[in-house]
Amino acid sequence: MRMAVPTEFITSLLLWFVRAFVSSIICVAIGLLAIKIMTHVTSTISEFKAVKGNSVATGLFVSGFLIYAGLVVYGSMVNPFFLSQSVMISSFFNLQRLLVVVLSFFVSLFFGWLFYFIFAKLSPFGIDLDDVNKSPIAVGIYLFGYEVFLGLIVFGSLMIPLG
């Protein structure tokens, strides 16, 4: 005996997938942009030059980005801002949720800059942040940490209850 799958179920499933996919792609693009901006903010650390060619450092960088992407995809599946249920102004985007995600991007850049300033310029613990440049693995770990930090912030912005 064959069971028929209702068309409504398939349509809902496809709509859910499209919503999560588009929200995830936008958030991943925001993450790539944040990493590029942070490389300019932390000008004394040559992130990509150091990581390139070192398998462990590259693995750490990619692993950090996979964790970031996982957090973003999970958050987008649970609470997407594209074609979401509580559409505010547009028929395609929940502008409140999108604004919170974009604000989280700027918050991550601000705190990234602030932490860099504190550790590189003020050196409260007597540690020179430029020492990270001495090892590609250290740079990979630094990038890994920033990507996880960014992922948690964006994930939190996707999970904040609105209204």
Average pLDDT per run of 10 along the chain, which is 163 residues long? 74 81 89 89 82 90 92 87 54 76 90 86 79 88 92 90 75
Rounded to 5°, angle at Cα 106 from 44 and 110 = 45
What H or E segment, with its residue span, contains residue 54?
A: none
Q: For the chain, give every domain's residue range.
A: 19-159
Q: What is d(CA 119, CA 116) in angstroms, rounded to the nearest whole number?
A: 5
Q: What are phi and psi of 2, to 5 degrees?
A: -95, 140
Nearest partner of 127 among 135, 116, 136, 137, judged by Cα: 116
* pLDDT at residue number 155: 92
* pLDDT at residue number 90: 53
* pLDDT at residue number 91: 57
Provide Rg for the chain, Cα atoms.
19
* pLDDT at residue number 163: 66
